[in-house]
């Protein structure tokens, strides 16, 4: 999520927020049984699932100290990303590919954090960002390279050259987690091709329920949005520009508002549709999404 950061709605995505609890319950309650093994494509996410389940809580906060001390599962997952054959990947469905790349981005971000944990701020860096921020890691998005399917790749390349270009799915911005509190919450389970619609819908609902990411101030006639909707507004143009009743605003802003309104409960949806308000953007919190654990 470097700050270059400057599928249309299915049935699940169109559900209003009063149904959100159906999709926002803890992952452990949603899918009883063993942790994910091979996905429908045969890719084994069990190592990644164990790392998430063990060190990510229901609010998406990460016990980085614990994960670093018990990093074997995550490291095995990173090795799996590197050793996957491109020829096998090319046979997968688009949903399976999308799930894979989201998991790769989030998993490699975790790897970048624990490789540099505890994060040390630079002499000047702490003046502009929190001392424990991912932004204190030099080149974390555009210089630090990992291997996926045998080729070197950066986090920026996964996000901006693969996910944003190849999939045309703006809900990725509710799923990609850059290890900051301003990001969407990290799920304590992997994304899976056969569940990707449900998971992305749940992520969007969860994101919009957080007043630090979205809120309506009727008294001041304002809709307050996460900066994510500003940085990536253009990604919503294709599927959402003409898909809702919002009028006025710049085209990219109107597309974002149409997208958001599809997830709101009736009264909030009507307010967004009215177009009788101004947009403002909330401050992005770059603090590390770290869970404090007493040991």
First to last CA, the chain: 31
How far CA 153 is from CA of 90, 150, 157, 189, 265, in Å, comes to 18, 9, 6, 24, 40
State the average pLDDT over residues 264-287. 97
pLDDT, residue 34, reads 39
Residue 94: pLDDT over 90 = yes
pTM of the entire predicted model: 0.90
Kindly indicate the confidence band of residue 57, based on its pLDDT and cuts at 50, 70 and 90: very high
Contacts of 157 (CB under 8 A, 6+ apart): none
How far CA 170 is from CA of 34, 217, 233, 234, 236, in Å, comes to 31, 25, 9, 9, 6
- Out of 5-19, 75-89, 114-128, 206-220, which region has the weakest mean confidence (pLDDT)? 5-19
Kindly report the average pLDDT of the chain as a whole number: 89
- Best-predicted range by mean pLDDT among 3-7, 14-18, 162-166? 162-166
- 19-47 residues labelled b (16+ CB within 10 A) or e (exposed): ebeebbeebeeeeeeebbeebebebebbb
pLDDT, residue 36, reads 63
pLDDT, residue 7, reads 35
> Model confidence over 250-262: pLDDT tens digits?
999 999 999 999 9
Q: Are 111 and 74 in contact (CB under 8 A)?
A: yes
> Model confidence over 160-213: pLDDT tens digits?
999 999 999 999 999 999 999 999 999 999 999 999 999 999 999 999 999 999
Kindly indicate the confidence band of residue 29, based on its pLDDT and cuts at 50, 70 and 90: very low
Domain boundaries defined on the chain: 17-25+35-209, 214-281
């Amino acid at each position: 999520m470097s700050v270059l950061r400057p599928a249309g709605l299915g049935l699940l995505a169109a559900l209003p927020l009063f149904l959100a609890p159906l999709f926002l319950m803890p992952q452990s309650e949603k899918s009883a049984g063993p942790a994910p093994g091979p996905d429908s494509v045969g890719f084994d996410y069990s190592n990644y699932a164990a790392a998430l389940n063990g060190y990510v809580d229901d609010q998406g906060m990460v016990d980085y100290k614990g994960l670093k001390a018990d990093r074997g599962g995550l490291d095995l997952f990173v090795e799996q990303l590197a050793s996957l054959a491109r020829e096998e990947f090319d046979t997968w469905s688009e949903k399976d590919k999308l799930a894979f790349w989201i998991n790769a981005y989030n998993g490699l971000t975790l790897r970048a954090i624990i490789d540099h944990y505890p994060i040390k701020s630079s002499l000047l860096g702490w003046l502009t960002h929190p001392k424990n921020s991912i932004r204190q890691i030099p080149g974390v998005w555009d210089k630090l390279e990992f291997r996926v399917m045998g080729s070197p790749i950066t986090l920026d390349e996964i996000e901006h050259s693969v996910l944003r270009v190849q999939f045309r799915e703006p809900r990725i911005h509710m799923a990609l987690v850059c290890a900051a509190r301003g990001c969407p919450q990290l799920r304590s389970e992997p994304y899976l091709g056969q569940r990707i619609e449900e998971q992305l819908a749940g992520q969007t609902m969860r994101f919009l329920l957080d007043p630090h990411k979205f809120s309506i101030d009727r008294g001041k006639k304002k809709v307050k949005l996460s900066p994510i909707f500003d940085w990536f507004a253009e990604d919503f143009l294709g599927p959402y520009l003409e898909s809702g009743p919002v009028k006025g605003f710049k085209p990219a802003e109107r597309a974002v508002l149409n997208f958001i309104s599809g997830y709101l409960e009736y009264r909030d949806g009507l307010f967004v549709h009215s177009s009788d308000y101004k947009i403002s953007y909330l401050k992005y919190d770059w603090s590390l999404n770290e869970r404090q654990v007493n040991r």
